[in-house]
Amino acid sequence: MLAALIWDVDGTFAETERDGHRIAFNEAFEALGLAWRWDVPRYAELLRVTGGRERLLHDMASQPDAPADAAERSALAAALHAEKNRRYALIAASGRIPLRPGVARLLREATAAGLQHAIATTTSRVNLDALMRQHFGAVWPSLFAAVVCAEDAPVKKPDPQVYRMALDRLSLDPEEALAIEDSPNGLAAASAAGIATLVTRSLNFAGQPFEDALAVCDDLDSPAAPSSRLLGARSARVDVAQLGVWHGAWWRERLAA
Ligand code: XBP
Ligand code: MG
């Protein structure tokens, strides 16, 4: 029944928020002559808002020196976002954003087991390309049967649009896919599209319970615990066989209910 893994990118493939986006936002503030800086605790709060431009606009609402006029504010957010993305691409190309443990392994194992891969991310295409090119080379799109990013799905997570579009492009039903996410907004988006979701908690969401997930782990090479509703044993790490077992049990339980 399981035919595809649908991967989130930020926080799931890599700690891009810690190692890339936050640093690049602060560089962009400086480059545009603004005194604003996002420290780690403030950025953790701001991650509740998905989308870099949306995050900037949200923060400007509490910045006394942000433009009062809505059109000016929007233009500033667009300029800052473009500058941030330029800087993020440089950071990614420098190799300073490693893949999280187990990501390359699970991609390989799932491909060998005959599963397809897709991407469902709220990040912009340039950022996705910068990160993936660094790790998989210019041929990276050939690894994925479908790639859906911010430009394709403008209504951002927790809205399910990005996941519905990925399923559509894969020509699959929700019960044929499994999503891999790191955040509450990501889990909500995939769940609202009807997709069972493995959560690999990123740093900003460490210790959160993610009760609606199929299974939860701290990274793909660490022990994973299935949902308490599945009554299954923990696995030593995330692998394709175990995902298939949990996924089958998840859907059997739902279809029986
Ligand atoms: C990722 C995001 C993005 C990134 C920055 O969320 O919310 O906004 O923080 O990328 P998810 P952009 O992992 O749930 O997809 O600046 O390109 O928006
Ligand atoms: Mg994420």
> Are the C-beta atoms of 176 and 194 separated by less than 8 Å?
no
Residues, beta carbon < 5 Å, ion ligand 2: 8, 10-11, 182-183, 186
What's the pLDDT tens digit per position in 39-66? 999 999 999 999 999 999 999 999 999 9
Active site residue 10: yes
d(CA 84, CA 25): 5
Domains of the chain in sequence order: 4-15+99-256 (3.40.50.1000), 17-93 (1.10.150.240)
What's the average pLDDT block by block, 10 residues per block, for the chain (257 residues)?
97 97 98 97 96 97 94 98 98 97 98 98 97 98 98 97 98 98 98 98 94 97 91 89 95 88
Please give the number of the atom of ligand 1 that sits closest to the Cα of 10. 13
**What is the model's pLDDT at position 207?**
86
**What is the model's pLDDT at position 229?**
81
Ligand 1 centroid–CA 55 distance in Å is 9
95: burial class by Cβ within 10 Å (0-12, 13-18, 19+)?
Answer: exposed
Q: Best of 122, 127, 180 to mutate for ligand 1, by most ligand atoms within 8 A of CB?
A: 122
